[in-house]
């Protein structure tokens, strides 16, 4: 099956710093990538939808200036948490949808655990 990787898998940073998380589709082209946030013992919360070559679409309540998303190629999307604060600590998961018409299944990355001190 299709594989999606995330890097890093775990990151600890100081408050006020920026952290970049990469999401790559390894064996397929992904026109659309999704970024989710998951709090402990809760479901996934969609943060934004990223289409290759265009600006990301953010869900209501998600600060686009804080969570910068770049989908520069058909295999790479990045999420940058700017000026991170302890409340940004969470598990971030990306998924990628293969290029093509109509519905295509999403494939999920293994997630990135962000801890902001």
Partner 1 sequence: AQSVAQPEDQVNVAEGNPLTVKCTYSVSGNPYLFWYVQYPNRGLQFLLKYITGDNLVKGSYGFEAEFNKSQTSFHLKKPSALVSDSALYFCAVIGSNYQLIWGAGTKLIIKP
In the complex, the residues that contact partner 1 under the rule CB under 8 A are 1, 6, 34, 41-44, 46, 49, 91, 93, 95, 97, 103, 105-111, 113
Which CB sits closer to partner 1, 82 or 111? 111
**Is the distance from CB of 18 to CB of 81 less than 8 angstroms?**
yes
> Computed from CA positions of residues 19, 85, 47, 38, in that sequence, does the dihedral angle turn out positive or negative?
positive
Instruction: Pick between residue 54 and residue 103 the one whose CB is nearest to partner 1.
Output: 103
By the 8 A CB rule, do 113 and 9 touch?
A: yes
Which burial class, exposed, middle or buried, applies to 79 when counting CB atoms under 10 A from its CB (0-12, 13-18, 19+)?
buried
Shortest Cβ distance from residue 83 to partner 1 (Å)?
25
16 vs 64, which CB is nearer to partner 1?
Answer: 64
CB of 72 to partner 1, least distance (A): 22
- What is the closest distance, in whole angstroms, from the C-beta atom of residue 78 to partner 1 in the complex? 17
Strand 106-108 relative to strand 76-81: parallel, antiparallel, unpaired? Answer: unpaired
């Amino acid at each position: 099956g299709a594989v999606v990787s995330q890097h890093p898998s775990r990151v600890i940073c100081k408050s006020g710093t920026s952290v970049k998380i990469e999401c790559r589709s390894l064996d397929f082209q992904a026109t659309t990538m999704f970024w989710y946030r998951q709090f402990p013992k809760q479901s996934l919360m969609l943060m934004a939808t990223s289409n290759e070559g265009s600006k990301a679409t953010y869900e209501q309540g998600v600060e686009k200036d804080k969570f910068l998303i770049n989908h520069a190629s058909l295999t790479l999307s990045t999420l940058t948490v700017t000026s991170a604060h302890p409340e940004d600590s969470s598990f971030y998961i990306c998924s990628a949808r293969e290029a093509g018409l109509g519905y295509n299944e999403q494939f999920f990355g293994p997630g990135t655990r962000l801890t902001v001190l």
